Amino acid sequence: MLKTGLIGFPLKNSLSPEIFKIFSGLTGFKISYRLVETREKNLPDTLKRLRASGWTGVNVTLPLKEAVTGFLTASNRVVRRITAANTLKFQKSGIAGINTDAMALSDAFREKSAQIKDKTAVVWGAGGAAKAALWFLAKNKAAQINLHNRDIKKARALAATISALFPEIKFKIRRFSEKTGKADIYINTTPVGMYAPGRLNAVFFRASAYCDLAYRSGETEFTRLAREAGARTIIDGREILVYQAARALEFWTNKRIAEIVEFKRETVRRLKIQD
């Protein structure tokens, strides 16, 4: 039995329990998956309690993706470079962490055959998910990233971190509410459209790619507007979430999922049936 779950706050709209229930049916793994609402001040006690209770590991969501890195005894290169993790594995020797946000973005853009190299991207947010998105874009040689965030100082600090790793990338910092210019790729890493009020002041084009890490039953406003504009590449938050979860399952079980694209598509199909 895999004893797993999700930590963060708030968790009321999370689809993760349903996703891992579907995974159990598709893989034959017996999976227990619980939501454990956790604020940052309670993080040390939560990790200690879950590890002592024999949990396999946890997924991590806002606002804890950066904070959990302080408790890791092992991590992959992405986590060490961007200081953000969203999947933990409890081991005898400590806690190992990886970042499946970056993996999921790579999986989703590859599935859609969306090109990154030499493209201009718009990203909303400057938290843990934004760090992974910027890493993904920079690693795949985007030419320019326009970063929109409410806290300009935080956005500048994040851009400086990524620029130090990928000096060839050009950054422009914009206020969150500022209307975007024309770009090739638009990625929302904030909870706007899911937990948080507000809207993304985006422009929509048929040839651009739109990716929303937020999700809800049906469509977010962002993906709906992209669809209505005839955008050819739209990646909704459920697709990203399923890819994240699949990579987490691989990490916890040390078993690779064959044909991960088909695995993801079948999971998303079953989720839509439940809507």
String of b and e for 75-109 (b: at least 16 CB within 10 Å)?
Answer: beebbebbbbbbbbbbeeeebbbbbbbbbbbbbbb
Cross-sheet strand order for the sheet of 144-149: 170-175, 144-149, 120-124, 185-188, 209-212, 233-235
Which residue in 65, 89, 131, 264 is the catalytic one?
A: 65
Cα–Cα distance, 248 to 58 (Å, whole number): 9
DSSP helix/strand/coil, 27: helix
Q: Cis omega (within 30 of 0) on the bond before 63?
A: yes
String of b and e for 16-29 (b: at least 16 CB within 10 Å)?
Answer: bbebbebbbeebee
Whether 89 sits among the annotated catalytic residues: the reply is: no
Answer for the pair 246, 260: CB distance below 8 angstroms, yes or no. yes
55 phi and psi, to 5 degrees? -70, 145
Residue numbers annotated as active site: 65
